[in-house]
């Protein structure tokens, strides 16, 4: 009898039968409040009827149209619709299947377009698990352990993770930018640097938002030296943070945006967006794959965009996100075990620390497991896996947020004895 490889490690023992909205139902009929949303993938909720209908209709018409041979209608229609939400000037799109592939595509584009070998990433960033993307990932050594030698040409600068440093945001930001300049002077000269790859909010790295001064500092240096600013919006795009793009909070204009996850409500689809003139500098034929821009995934993405815009899901993410953040902060106020609660929109993280401020992985894991026992699915993140994150579908309502907070409050009180 075959069995699942231990590589398919799961955070909870739940075996799902079906999903609906914010809920997952397991094979024993138990209902779970899904505050993981597949790490933000099921943006419109599980099996949103409009997304299901669009995908079913598409399946009967065309499943696969290899874009190196023919073009198909859903790909063209999706591209046109994305034009309405992408940052101005980023109107040329390339499609793939996963976030990691989008990272690979942007890496190739950056190197080919600039003729420079290096990329600079920011500590705590997560960009994926293919070897190139893992080489650019610094949110935990577990993502790159044992697979080296890693790709050359990746250099790491600090991210303004103020709580970790024990500083205020301004000090952390000044430090991060000063270190970046030091990196330019010591390791990766600006004219050897093709791109910055940065997340608007560190996702796997612990739900740490960037800030306006930091991203403005990157933009300034990118402009001064012809470096590309690549924003990895794989986890933060499509309304997740309460604005359409994570970077909308910080008023920065990217050269390249990476999209995946929430884009197609769970169907595999990703992409990169850049200006046509930049995209034209990539070498034709060097990018691509068999399944990129699959017709059913594109149809699901079109329906997803329609639902997000029609049903005001970005605004909902902002309002419910505030409710969730405020509620999680009130819970943290009652215990010394949670040192920081932070986030943007429906990305909320509670960081567990010991009395002397060290990461408290054990308590975070205990709380996550206890929440699952009480029907609330959560995940941990952060380099030390000591941040419990809440990332429900964007359709979550006020009563469901209250429900999750009630369970979370009980769990935190039991686990921390406070």
Residue nearer to ligand PMP on the CB measure, 199 or 360: 199
Q: Tell me which residue of 119, 120, 135, 85 sits closest to 271, measured CA to CA.
A: 85
Residue nearer to ligand PMP on the CB measure, 130 or 323: 130
Q: In this chain, which of 42, 138, 235, 287 binds ligand PMP, going by CB under 6 A?
A: 235
Q: In this chain, which of 94, 95, 122, 126 binds ligand PMP, going by CB under 6 A?
A: 126
Residue nearer to ligand PMP on the CB measure, 128 or 217: 128
Q: Which of residues 151-190 bind ligand PMP (CB under 6 A)?
A: none
Rounded Cα distance, 418 and 415, in Å: 8
Structure tokens of 255? 């050269």
Our finding on whether 348 is near ligand PMP (CB under 6 A) is no
Our finding on whether 349 is near ligand PMP (CB under 6 A) is no
| Long-range contacts of the stretch 53-57 (C-beta < 8 A, 24+) | 53/303, 54/299, 54/300, 54/302, 54/303, 55/267, 55/296, 55/299, 55/300, 55/303, 57/299
Residue nearer to ligand PMP on the CB measure, 154 or 415: 154
Our finding on whether 139 is near ligand PMP (CB under 6 A) is no
CB 308, CB 44: distance < 8 Å: yes
Q: In this chain, which of 260, 301, 303, 388 binds ligand PMP, going by CB under 6 A?
A: 260
What's the chain look like in SS3?
CCCCCCCCCCCCCCCEEEEEECEEEECCCCEEEECCHHHHCCCCCECCHHHHHHHHHHHCCCCCCCCCCCCCHHHHHHHHHHHCCCCCCCCEEEEECCHHHHHHHHHHHHHHHHCCCEEEEECCCCCCCCHHHHHCCCCCHHHCCCCCCCCCCEEEECCCCHHHHCCCHHHHHHHHHHHHHHHHHHCCCHHHEEEEEECCEECCCCCEECCHHHHHHHHHHHHHHCCEEEEECCCCCCCCCCCCCHHHHCCCCCCEEEECHHHHCCCCCEEEEECHHHHCCCCCCCCCCCCCCCHHHHHHHHHHHHHHHHCCHHHHHHHHHHHHHHHHHHHHHCCCCEEEEEEECCEEEEEEECCCCCECHHHHHHHHHHHHHCCEECEEECCCCCEEEECCCCCCCHHHHHHHHHHHHHHHHHHHCC
With contacts defined by CB under 6 A, name the span among 14-22, 27-35, 165-173, 228-236 that binds ligand PMP: 228-236
Our finding on whether 11 is near ligand PMP (CB under 6 A) is no
Our finding on whether 321 is near ligand PMP (CB under 6 A) is no
The least CB distance from residue 250 to ligand PMP, in Å, is 16
For helices 295-310 and 313-333, what crossing angle results, to 10°? 70
How many residues sit in the footprint of ligand PMP (CB under 6 A)? 15
The least CB distance from residue 102 to ligand PMP, in Å, is 7
Our finding on whether 203 is near ligand PMP (CB under 6 A) is yes
Q: What is the β-pairing status of strands 118-122 and 154-157?
A: parallel
Residue nearer to ligand PMP on the CB measure, 98 or 188: 98
Our finding on whether 232 is near ligand PMP (CB under 6 A) is yes
Q: In this chain, which of 11, 14, 39, 187 binds ligand PMP, going by CB under 6 A?
A: 39
Residue nearer to ligand PMP on the CB measure, 100 or 400: 100
The least CB distance from residue 403 to ligand PMP, in Å, is 26
Our finding on whether 204 is near ligand PMP (CB under 6 A) is yes
With contacts defined by CB under 6 A, name the span among 123-131, 242-250, 271-279, 331-339 that binds ligand PMP: 123-131
Our finding on whether 241 is near ligand PMP (CB under 6 A) is no
Q: In this chain, which of 45, 87, 124, 128 binds ligand PMP, going by CB under 6 A?
A: 128
Binding mask 79-108 for ligand PMP (x = CB under 6 A): -------------------xxx--x-----
Our finding on whether 199 is near ligand PMP (CB under 6 A) is yes
The least CB distance from residue 144 to ligand PMP, in Å, is 14
Q: In this chain, which of 234, 348, 364, 376 binds ligand PMP, going by CB under 6 A?
A: 234
The least CB distance from residue 195 to ligand PMP, in Å, is 15
The least CB distance from residue 132 to ligand PMP, in Å, is 11
> Which residue, judged by CB position, is nearest to ligand PMP in the bound state?
99
**Which residues of the chain form contacts with ligand PMP (CB under 6 A)?**
39, 98-100, 103, 126-128, 199, 203-204, 232, 234-235, 260
């Amino acid at each position: 009898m075959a069995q699942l490889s231990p590589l398919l490690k799961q955070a909870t023992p739940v075996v799902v039968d079906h999903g609906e909205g914010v809920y997952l139902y397991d094979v024993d009929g138990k209902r779970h409040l899904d505050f993981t949303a597949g790490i933000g993938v099921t943006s419109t909720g599980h099996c949103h009827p409009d997304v299901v209908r669009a995908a079913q209709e598409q399946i009967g018409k065309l499943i696969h149209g290899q874009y190196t041979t023919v073009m198909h209608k859903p790909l063209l229609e999706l591209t046109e619709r994305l034009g309405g939400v992408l940052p101005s000037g980023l109107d040329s799109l390339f499609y793939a299947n996963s976030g990691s592939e989008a990272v690979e595509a942007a890496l190739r584009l950056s190197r080919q377009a600039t003729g420079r070998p290096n990329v600079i990433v920011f500590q705590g960033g997560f960009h994926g698990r293919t070897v190139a993307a893992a080489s650019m990932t610094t949110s935990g050594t577990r993502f790159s352990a044992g697979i080296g030698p890693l790709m050359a040409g990746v250099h790491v600068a600090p991210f303004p993770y103020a709580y970790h440093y024990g500083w205020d945001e301004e000090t952390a930001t000044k430090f991060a930018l000063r270190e970046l300049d030091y990196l330019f002077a010591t390791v990766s000269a600006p004219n050897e640097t093709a791109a910055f790859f940065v997340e608007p909010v560190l996702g796997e790295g612990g739900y740490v938002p960037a800030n306006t001064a930091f991203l403005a500092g990157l933009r300034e240096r990118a402009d001064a030296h012809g470096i590309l600013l690549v924003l990895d919006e794989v986890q933060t795009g499509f309304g997740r943070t309460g604005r359409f793009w994570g970077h909308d909070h910080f008023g920065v204009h990217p050269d390249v945006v990476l999209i995946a996850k929430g884009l197609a409500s769970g169907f595999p689809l990703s992409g990169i967006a850049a200006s046509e003139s930049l995209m034209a500098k990539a070498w034709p034929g060097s990018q691509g794959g068999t399944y990129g821009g699959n017709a059913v995934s594109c149809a699901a993405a079109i329906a997803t965009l329609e639902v997000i815009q029609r049903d005001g899901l970005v605004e909902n993410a902002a309002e419910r996100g505030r409710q969730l953040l405020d509620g999680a902060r009130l819970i943290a106020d009652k215990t010394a075990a949670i040192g920081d609660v932070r986030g943007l929109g429906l990305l909320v993280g509670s960081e567990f620390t010991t009395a002397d401020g060290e990461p408290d992985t054990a308590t975070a894991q205990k709380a996550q497991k206890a929440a699952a026992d009480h029907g609330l699915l959560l995940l941990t993140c952060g380099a030390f896996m000591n941040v419990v994150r809440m990332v429900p579908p964007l359709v979550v309502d006020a009563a469901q947020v209250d429900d999750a907070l009630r369970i979370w409050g009980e769990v935190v009180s039991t686990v921390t004895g406070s």
